[in-house]
Amino acid sequence: MTRDVAIIGQGMTKFQEHWDRGVRELAAEAITEALQDATISHEQVQALFVGSMGRFGGQEHIGALVADYTGLTPIPATRVEAGCACGALAMRSAFLAVLSGLYDIVVACGVEKMTDLTDSGDLISALGAASDQEWELQAGLTFPAVYALMARAHMAKYGTTKEQLAMVSAKNHKNAVNNPKAHFRREFTIQQILQAKMVCAPLGLLDCSPVSDGAAAIVIADSEIAETHECPVWIRGSGHASDTIALQDRPTITNIPAAQVAARKAYEYAEISPDEVDVAEIHDNFTIGELMGLEDLGFVPEGQGGIATEAGETQIEGGKLPVNTSGGLKARGNPIGATGIAQAIEIMLQLRDNAGKRQVEDVEVGLTHSIGGSGATAIVTLLSSKRR
């Protein structure tokens, strides 16, 4: 029989530029809040997984650093890294650790202090470390350029428009207005987004996620412990896949094959179909990412992400499948290591009916979709208010 695993607590800092705080302070705030939410003491935690790229402040050995500063020593603390999927990988690692029966209570934390790099060249190099250094970054192919190539290919193949990309940004900024933890709580019109400074055509400044600092943490427990809590959120399925790290080596650049594989694995494990998902947090580090995610996850046919967005299918009010109710990476913010866990926290709040003005009605199943690099890593997680 499959061992059931649940999230029983969550904590998260505000995502913003934290000039007066470092990695250790941010992680400590998120973990402390998560333990309090779970009514779990430090002494009950048996292992810690921390997702972080670590390159921004020069600090490595981050697992031990966080365990030390949060009073979780001497338990095993492991730092994991997968580009923008760091947090999702920390969550999956904690899930597997409990699923295996080795531990009963594990904390997964994601943290990043991106503003420690104030030089734009250094920041580009740090972010570009998640791409193929030799064949992409050293040739000048930064992540905005990589995703711009994907967007241009999608436009050429399917007729996707820049206006449809702008609709993703406008929707997510509108959602973030009602998220007190979001970096940018400001709405933008389609026209403002279209007229924003060009970064790499067709992607403008408001098509790109910001540089953010922050941390997020969850407490994961086995079913015996979870059943004693009032609102456990069950991890019903998890899928993880990888692909070529360089975009040039893939047979297609209009979708992310690893995401399709990870989604299929998660759906099969959970015995849940895409039609049963009520709300989703999709990796929108660039607006084209949300459109491709809709397609890769099986929510719409290939090439129809832009059309579905234009039809309002991803909005909270009246949408068939509300997407990025938190504001997404675009507006909630994208402190690399924390992003995947922040996505899970948003789904957890939705399932607990605690999302305030951004609450979706009658949520029973939610999904998170996290991408590392331009698609070399993909992790998809299905969460539910109901045990299998």
Q: What is the domain range of residue 68?
A: 5-118+211-226
Domains contained in the chain, number? 1
User: Where residue 32 sits, what CATH number does that domain have?
Assistant: 3.40.47.10
Q: How many CB atoms lie within 10 A of CB 61?
A: 11
CB 383 within 8 A of CB 236: yes
Question: Is residue 111 assigned to a domain?
Answer: yes
CB 213 within 8 A of CB 114: yes
Question: Is residue 302 assigned to a domain?
Answer: no
Per the document, the length of the chain is 388
Question: Is residue 281 assigned to a domain?
Answer: no
Phi, psi angle pair for 234, to nearest 5°: -85, 135
Question: Is residue 254 assigned to a domain?
Answer: no
pTM recorded for the entire structure = 0.97
Question: Is residue 48 assigned to a domain?
Answer: yes
pLDDT by position in tens, the chain (length 388): 468 999 999 999 999 999 999 999 999 999 999 999 999 999 999 999 999 997 787 888 999 999 999 999 999 999 999 999 999 999 999 999 999 999 999 999 999 999 887 677 778 778 888 888 889 888 889 999 999 999 999 999 999 999 999 999 999 999 999 999 999 999 999 999 999 999 999 999 999 999 999 999 999 999 999 999 989 999 999 999 999 999 999 999 999 999 999 999 999 999 999 999 999 999 999 999 999 999 999 999 999 999 999 999 999 999 999 999 999 999 999 999 999 999 999 999 999 999 999 999 999 999 999 999 999 999 999 999 999 8
Question: Per the structure block, which two tokens stand in for 70?
Answer: 């949060």
Question: Is residue 47 assigned to a domain?
Answer: yes
Question: Is residue 312 assigned to a domain?
Answer: no
Question: Is residue 76 assigned to a domain?
Answer: yes
**Where do we find the tokens 């059309």?**
307
What is the chain's alpha carbon radius of gyration, rounded to the nearest angstrom? Answer: 19
